[in-house]
Amino acid sequence: MSDWLRNPASLFDVRGKVAIVTGASGAFGSLAAQVLAGAGAKLLLAAGNKAELEKVAAECRDLGAEVAVANLRPSTEEGCEAITEAAIAAFGEIDILVVASGMNAPAPIVDMPLEQFERIMDANVTDSWLMSKSVGKRMIARARGGKIVLMSSARGKLGHPGGYSAYCASKSAIDGLTKALGCEWGKYAITVNAIAPTVFRSALTAWMFEADEKATAVRNGFLARVPLGRLGEPEDLAGPLLFLCSRASDFYTGHILDADGGYSAG
């Protein structure tokens, strides 16, 4: 009998694994950091906001994790190499990469400067490509496999009337990158997957959870397309993240996991 049958929860065990989380001061990045910390992983947290980065690092240490930080964004090849080397210097290896860095700045396409479009594409796509390249080559050289998780969105599949031409395009590109790397790196036992949420509770979306008239109208309009009938909570992303970072997903690569309450099924 296989050992995991005696303890199926062991499939999700990431204790002692070394994880890099970029964008660790953001809504999903801080959640990812804390989930992995609570699950026993060792963490290299990277973000450009030093104060918020240190705050998240302290929260992860309170959960019992070993934590190192790099006050860097993955916006250049040199920066990504520095983040990767910081993880190796701190812990000797890298098992997991979560690219949670990104941005959105909505505007109608006719009003959006090219520079704004390029910033969104760089933050959401180029940074993910650069960080995956930097960590991936170390994983390939080590020959022990690895887990890479990128950040997509329901907007990678569906449009939005609120000036999302750059954001939707960037998340569609993340879906393509996930599939391409999943195919390219399968022979190295490196899985590459993405999580695609809709609205989940965070500092940025807290207003949608309020009881005032405007928030209620927006929320009800959105929920009319969500089969499960509610907005997302942080724990709704925690499970998919842990799945994609653990050996439970060893036969799962090149996929976009829609953590959206059924929104994209409608």
Q: Which residues are catalytic?
A: 167
Order of strands, sheet of 190-197, starting from the edge strand that comes earlier in the sequence: 67-70, 42-46, 18-22, 96-99, 146-151, 190-197, 256-259
Separation CA 31–CA 237 (nearest Å)? 8
Crossing angle (nearest 10°) for helices 27-38 and 234-245: 60
Structure tokens at 110: 């006719």
3-class secondary-structure state, position 107: coil
Q: How many CA atoms lie within 13 A of 64 on its CB side?
A: 8
> DSSP state, 232?
B
Structure tokens at 258: 């829609």
Structure tokens at 28: 């999903």
> DSSP state, 227?
T
Structure tokens at 134: 């930097």
Helices (H), the chain: 3-6, 27-38, 50-62, 77-91, 114-121, 127-142, 165-184, 213-223, 234-245
Question: With b meaning 16 or more CB within 10 Å and e meaning fewer, what string describes 50-84?
Answer: eeebeebbebbeebebbbbbbbbbbbeeebbbebb
Separation CA 146–CA 265 (nearest Å)? 30
